[in-house]
Amino acid sequence: MHPDVEALLALQADDQAIRVLEEQLAAFEPRLRAMAQARTAAADGVAGAQAALAAEERRQRDLHEQIARHKQLHERNVAHLDAVKRMRDATAAVAQVEAARRILAEEESDLQAVTRRVGELRAAVEAQERSGGEMQAQHAVEQEEIAAQRSEIEGQLTIARTARAGLATHVNRPLLSKYDRIRSARRDGAIYALRGPSCGNCDTSVPMQRRNVMAASGTIEVCETCGVLLYAGA
């Protein structure tokens, strides 16, 4: 086999190994992205639940204060009712006391509902925080595994790239740049052996005269149909 062919085949084997390793590295990305998105969504969920809880707690405090104020007012009205002597004033005072009592009853029932919602929202916040924490722990384990796998693959890649640089010095410059150009356009292979009378990649037949030259001198030709490098196999 012509040394150029031998050198290019070694280079191509290494390039393919590098490609596989690069694809393995890239394959981690969607999982890492999905995990990051899930964590963001969980954090947003916790923040939303906390905000809803805070709003309801504010409402609960306001109602407490309002009820306390109205109770005071009511007590004053009741005291006033005891104090009034004349019938006409007493009727008005009774109506006032009754109205205040109704308002207070409504407010008390509002407060009960708000207190119930505060309890529910607190439980929701706790549940979201718990599941977020569990997810975080799971992700930490998985991220550590991925980091270990990645660093192993990166180590292999460094070795393969160093080997590639060494192999490239064995190929003459014009041929190497031709190979690199073809390889950057079509990643699955740049140099093929003839298969019988045809291109090993696209199967277009190569004229006999060119094949004879290739076989005799070991030269590398370009397939006129698919553009890959061709050599006469053993």
Distance in angstroms (rounded) separating the CA atoms of residues 105 and 67: 9
Residue type, 218: G
**What type of residue is 129?**
E
Q: 21 CB contacts (<8 Å, ≥6 apart)? A: 153, 156, 157, 160
Residue type, 43: A
Which of 111, 163, 225, 233 touches Zn ion by CB under 5 A? 225
Binding residue for Zn ion (CB under 5 A) from 18, 90, 213, 226?
226
Q: Going residue by residue from 168 to 207, which x/- string records binding to Zn ion, judged by CB under 5 A?
A: -------------------------------x-xx-----
Near Zn ion by CB under 5 A: residue from 8, 42, 194, 223: 223
Q: Closest distance between Zn ion and the C-beta of residue 13, in Å?
A: 20
Q: Which is nearer to Zn ion, 128 or 201 (CB)?
A: 201
**What residues contact residue 234 under an 8 Å CB cut-off, 6+ apart?**
1
Closest listed residue to residue 194, CA positions, set 169, 212, 173, 172 = 212
Residues 42-101 that bind Zn ion (CB under 5 A): none
Work out how close the CB of 229 gets to Zn ion at its nearest, in angstroms, rounded to a whole number: 10
Count residues binding Zn ion (CB under 5 A): 6
The smaller minimum CB distance to Zn ion, of residues 127 and 202, is found at 202
Q: Are 220 and 182 in contact (CB under 8 A)?
A: no
Q: How far is the CB of 230 from Zn ion (least distance, A)?
A: 7
**Residue 79 or residue 208: which is nearer to Zn ion going by CB?**
208
Beta-sheet strand order (sheet of 221-222): 191-193, 229-231, 221-222
Considering beta carbons, is residue 42 or 231 the nearer one to Zn ion? Answer: 231
- The residue (of 136 and 219) whose beta carbon lies closer to Zn ion is 219
Determine the residue type at 150.
R
Region from 21-29, 36-44, 175-183, 215-223 binding Zn ion, contact rule CB under 5 A: 215-223
Instruction: Give every CB contact of residue 185 below 8 A, 6+ residues apart in sequence.
Output: 227
Q: Collapse the DSSP code of 171 into the 3-class scheme (helix H, G, I; strand E, B; otherwise coil) and give the result.
A: coil
Residues 206 and 199: beta-carbon distance below 8 Å? yes
**Applying CB under 5 A, which part among 28-36, 38-46, 156-164, 218-226 lies near Zn ion?**
218-226
Q: Which residues bind Zn ion (CB under 5 A)?
A: 199, 201-202, 223, 225-226
